[in-house]
């Protein structure tokens, strides 16, 4: 299965309760279909699969935004190119849960259209059953990452359109 976003393809209309990109929707469904132990393993796989920070960000680390709500140093950068959103993360290996969440966002949102990212319902992590894995209290910290991504997307979009 592959999901390609092209600027000629308008944002598909989706049900209000289902504001996810197809890629993220598929990840959510994979988690929903899997037993707890499998979900842990999947989250770990996303943690391992998180792409490394490109050199242009690693060399200019202060251009990244620190997510203060995360207990460990966690940084995110957003680029918007031709209406497509690109995400970059720097998360330490000793925080695999947060890295895993970042890996899911990278796989589920990278390349998506601006509107699609802004429409992501922040409770998708709960729908995935992550709350049973990482305690509902900690889970809310993760939503701060998504909120900061959305804020950056808005900033970049306004910057681009003047």
Partner 1 sequence: MGAPIDPDPKINRYAHPERVVTTQWLADHADDPSVVIAESDEDVLLYETGHIPGAVKIDWHADLNDQITRDYVDAEGFARLMSAKGITRDTTIIFYGDNFNWWAAYALWVCSLFGHADVRLLDGGRQRWVAEGRPMTTDATHRTPTEYPLTPRDDVTIRAFKEDVLAHISHGPLVDVRSPGEYSGELMHMADYPQEGALRGGHIPTARSVPWRRAAQDDGTFRPLDELQAIYLEEQGLTQDDDVIAYCRIGERSSHTWFVLTHLLGLSRVRNYDGSWVEWGNAVRVPIERPDPIA
Residues in contact with partner 1 by CB under 8 A are 36, 40-41, 43-44, 47, 68-71, 93-98, 100, 132-135, 137-141, 144
Burial of residue 45, with CB atoms counted within 10 A of its CB: 0-12 exposed, 13-18 middle, 19 or more buried: exposed
What does the alpha-carbon distance between residue 111 and residue 107 come to, in Å, rounded to a whole number? 9
Integer Cα distance of 57 and 42 in angstroms: 27
Nearest distance, CB of residue 123 and partner 1, angstroms: 14
Nearer to partner 1, 83 or 131 (CB): 131
- Is 83 or 96 the residue whose CB approaches partner 1 more closely? 96
In angstroms, what is the minimal distance from the CB of 49 to partner 1?
Answer: 13
Q: Which is nearer to partner 1, 13 or 71 (CB)?
A: 71
Q: How far is the CB of 71 from partner 1 (least distance, A)?
A: 4
Closest CA to 102 of 153, 60, 162, 51: 51
Please, which residue, 76 or 80, has the CB nearer to partner 1? Answer: 76
Q: CA 116, 73, 128, 137: dihedral to nearest 10 degrees?
A: -120
Q: Which is nearer to partner 1, 56 or 151 (CB)?
A: 151
The minimum distance between CB 76 and partner 1, in angstroms, equals 16
Calculate the dihedral angle through the C-alpha atoms of 135, 137, 138, 142, rounding to the nearest 10 degrees. Answer: 120
d(CA 7, CA 10): 7
| Assigned token pair, 35 | 């037993």
């Amino acid at each position: 299965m592959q999901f390609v976003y092209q600027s000629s393809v308008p944002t598909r209309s989706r049900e209000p309760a289902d504001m996810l990109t197809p890629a993220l929707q598929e990840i959510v469904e994979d988690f929903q279909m899997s037993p707890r132990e499998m979900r842990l393993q999947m989250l770990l796989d996303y943690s391992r699969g998180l792409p490394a920070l490109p050199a242009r960000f690693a060399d200019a680390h202060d251009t990244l935004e620190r997510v203060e709500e995360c207990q460990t140093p966690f940084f995110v950068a957003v680029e918007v190119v031709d209406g497509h959103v690109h995400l970059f993360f720097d998360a330490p290996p000793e925080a695999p849960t947060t890295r895993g969440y970042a890996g899911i966002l990278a796989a589920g949102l990278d390349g998506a259209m601006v509107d699609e990212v802004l429409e992501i319902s922040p409770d998708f992590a709960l729908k995935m059953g992550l709350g049973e894995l990482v305690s509902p209290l900690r889970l809310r910290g993760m939503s701060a990452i998504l909120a900061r991504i959305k804020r950056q997307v808005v900033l970049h979009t306004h910057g681009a359109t003047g």
